[in-house]
Amino acid sequence: METSIKSGMRVMAVAAVLLRLSVASYAQMYDNFESYTNNQLLATATAATQTGSPWGRFGGATAANPIALTNAGVGASVGMDYALNYSGGNNASLEFHFPATSNLTSVTALSVDLRVSTALLSNTIVEVAEEQANGPIYQSLTTLAQVLTNTTFQTFTLDLNSAEMANQGTAGAFDLSQVIDLRIRFQNVASGGSQHIYVDNFQAVSVPEPSTLALMVSGICLGLGVIRRRRS
């Protein structure tokens, strides 16, 4: 009987750990920049025109095309270096292009590690956006944008949902089942200064599928059942 109880407890323990990890959400890495070579050009236009890179870029604040740079990422890894000068415009964006229309309905937020070379007198803010195959572009509400002044890496997580984003493109409903690209937008309205933005670990934060949660709960219930039967 003791062996059965221990087995049941082991089943419960494993299931509980998996459930905790699943409920906490999981990340899907889009780009950690480790596949690029030092000084590799990552984007020259809005579209993804550079071989081997899914990135595009646009906006008047762009001072130079983004490149991959050794020691520019987290822990001196490879990261992206995006040079901006706000005298040319008050914003600039990076675009991550999917090879085909993607279903991101399980994605709740986008996460990215960012730092700046220097903080400006007027704070730089960060927003995210998603573009859909049918035209709409939904972008973070300015009131929910996050301030980017840190010169060491910090993780920025911005929600991807209709309540916290507004349509900036063609009329249409918020629909994560037909996403063609994701965007990281930098804005500095008043400064006119320049800075380098360093980017690493761009990823989606997702919730687990209902079937995964159901499996974990079933494991816990199974373990409880074994223990109760043996104790009775």
Interval 185-227: pLDDT, tens = 999 988 789 999 999 999 999 865 554 444 444 544 554 454 4
Backbone angles phi, psi at 157, to 5 degrees: -120, 120
Residue 48: predicted pLDDT: 96
DSSP for the chain, please give it: -HHHHHHHHHHHHHHHHHHHHHHT-EEEEEE-STTSPTT-B--SSSS--STT--EEEE-TTB-S--EEETT-SGGG--EEEEEEETTS-SEEEEEEEEEEEE--TTEEEEEEEEEESS--SSPEEEEEEEEETTS-EEEE-GGG-EEE--SS-EEEEEE-STTSEEE-SSS----GGGEEEEEEEEE-SS---EEEEEEEEEEEEEPPPHHHHHHHHHHHHHHHHHHHHHH-
Q: Extract the tokens encoding 66.
A: 């983004």
DSSP for 117-132, please give it: SS--SSPEEEEEEEEE
Alpha-carbon distance of 21 to 206, in angstroms, equals 12
CA dihedral 79, 118, 28, 36 (to 10 degrees): -10
Q: Going residue by residue through the chain, which has 232 residues, state the pLDDT in tens, using 9 for 90 and above.
A: 555 555 545 655 554 554 454 444 578 999 999 999 999 999 999 999 999 999 999 999 999 999 999 999 999 999 999 999 999 999 999 999 999 999 999 999 999 999 999 999 889 999 999 999 999 999 999 999 999 999 999 999 999 999 999 999 899 999 999 999 999 999 998 878 999 999 999 999 986 555 444 444 454 455 445 445 555 5
Which among 84, 83, 98 is positioned nearest to 130, based on CA atoms?
98
Top CATH class, 26-207: mainly beta
* pTM assigned to the model: 0.81
The neighbouring-strand residues paired with 198 are: 81, 115
Residue 19: predicted pLDDT: 46
Residue 87: predicted pLDDT: 93
101 with 132: CB under 8 angstroms? no
Interval 107-128: pLDDT, tens = 999 999 999 999 998 899 999 9
Which residues are within 8 A (CB) of 178 and not within 5 positions of it... i.e. 6 or more apart? 101, 102, 103, 132, 133, 134
10 Å Cβ neighbour count for 118?
10
Residue 156: predicted pLDDT: 98
Backbone angles phi, psi at 230, to 5 degrees: -70, -35
